[in-house]
Every structure is written in structure tokens, then in C-alpha cells.
Amino acid sequence: MSNNKTSLVGKLILVTGAGTGIGKGVALELARQGADVAISYSSSAQGAMEAVEEMKAIGRRSMAFKANLGVVTDCYRVVDEAAEFLGGLDGIFNNAGVTATLPIQEVTEEQFNKIYNVNIRGQYFCSQRAIGHMIERGKELGRHFPDKPWAGGSIVNMSSVHATAGFVGHSVYAGTKGAINAFSRELAVELCSVHIRVNVVAPGSIEVPSYFTNDPNYTRELGNSMVPWGRVGVPEDIGYLAAYLMSDASEFLTGHVIYIDGGLTAKMAIPYTPPKGERQTS
């Protein structure tokens, strides 16, 4: 166990939905900080294998597992396989998710079920399965390092700014993200007794490859213009936060939704510039 609480050396972590985009960026950053990282993917096999090879190249142990996390048995299987490969589990970053931009009157039962199954069932049942592995990991570390208290396991669930602000066409997706925030807060309280912390990362605009494939008019300049901070986010931004939440340095942080969005949720959406000077407001 490292004396540097921000270090991830020796940490054993599973990142779901890591074949592309944010999940891939998170997995790579965790590995750069010293963790051994297992990843899951659904359809992005090439990206997952590239991530594994990149992590191996810097000396980390890594393996990718294919899974449909809308199916509970796959959730259980991938967590068990990751723990077996790694030799235990210190943390899980539940990133896997799907979205669709659809007017509410056009949403079908099939589309609704698919988004809720992956986004909610996937995070819930992967977390459920990971808890036992984390408890056993804590016992193992206690046997090997009796003089050092266990900092605890870490569950990080992926939400979105859509959980707190409306955006046209995202009624189903936003609903899943609100549910993630709610069950994560409850889980954080429930798991204090076994020393496992639960937090939520809620990104704003994070530029991933699908931004360009889904919208031929998208450009980096357009992305930058939509964020108060002046630039669009990138997967590495989420990776830096994930590394902290997986480290022992975050041992006292649990039950929080952390919005990482360049000021997006802090800004009023009213397209109006008030006049300068002091005004009576009450």
C-alpha cells in the first residue's frame, strides 16, 4: 500500500463501457496513475483492445470483457471475471450507458426499456455484485497490512447534467440519470457501515467521437462556444476526477453528485444580458 494517498499503485479497478469515449479515457488515466484496470465493452471491441494494449504498454495489467449490461446475468459475470483476473476489486467506475434524442411522443416501449435497462439495471447490479468483492479486498489488505487502516472501496456512477436541467428530446435519458443520482445517494448511506463510498460524476459537454459522427456540423469551435469556461470538455477531464475518487485521498467523500461541466449548470439559460449597475431586487 502506497503512503501517497493520491496514488493508484496497487489499486484494482473495473471500468464499464470503456471501449470508447469517456470510459476509455477514464480507464487510461487510472492506469497512468498506477492502477491495474479491467474494462467491459458492448460493441466497441477494437477500441477496448486498443485501450488494453495501451495500458499493458505502460506496465499495467489489463483485460477487456464483452458484456450487455442491460442483462443482469452479464452484470454479475463481468464483475466476477474482472475480480478474478485482477485478484480482487478496489473500485468500479460504472460508465456504460446509452442515449437517444427522441421527442416524448415518439418514444417506443422498446427504446425506453433499452435505455433504462443499460443505464439503471447495469449500474445497479454491477454495483451490487462489486460490493462483496470490495469487502473481501478490504479483509485481504487488513491481513497483509494490519497497521494501515483500509481506506475503503469506491463505487463511482456516471450521471449527467441532464439529471438536473431540461434539454429537448432527452426525457428518457434524463430520467435514468436522475434515478442514478437518487439510488447512489441512498447506496452511499447504506454502505458506510462496510466502508465503501459511493459518488456520482455528472459531466456536461465532453467531446467524444460520437459528437462528430452523429452531427456532421459539429466542430471543436462550436463545442467551445457552448461552455461558459470557454472550451468543451474531453475524456481526460473525467479521468482526472475519477482517479481522485478511486484514490485513498477521497476516503472522506461519499454520497455526492459532482458536476464537471465548465460552469454549464451554474449558468442561467435566459438569453438576456442585464444592464450594468446596481438595481433593486427585493
**pLDDT per residue as tens digits for the range 184-194:** 999 999 999 99
**pLDDT per residue as tens digits for the range 101-156:** 899 999 999 999 999 999 999 999 999 999 999 999 999 999 999 999 999 999 99
Task: Please tell me the predicted confidence (pLDDT) of residue 276.
Answer: 57
Checking if the pLDDT of 278 tops 60, the result is: no
Checking if the pLDDT of 279 tops 50, the result is: no
Mean pLDDT to the nearest integer, 190-216: 92
**pLDDT per residue as tens digits for the range 223-258:** 899 899 999 999 999 999 999 999 999 999 999 999
Mean pLDDT to the nearest integer, 53-77: 98
161-179 burial, b if ≥16 CB within 10 A, otherwise e? Answer: bbbbbeeeebbbbbbbbeb
At residue 216 the predicted structure's pLDDT band, cuts being 50, 70 and 90, is confident
Active site amino acids: 159-160, 173, 177
Dist CA 100 CA 257 (whole Å): 23
Task: Please tell me the predicted confidence (pLDDT) of residue 281.
Answer: 46
Domains and CATH numbers, the chain: 12-260 (3.40.50.720)
Model confidence, pTM: 0.93
Task: Please tell me the predicted confidence (pLDDT) of residue 157.
Answer: 98
Checking if the pLDDT of 89 tops 90, the result is: yes
At residue 1 the predicted structure's pLDDT band, cuts being 50, 70 and 90, is low
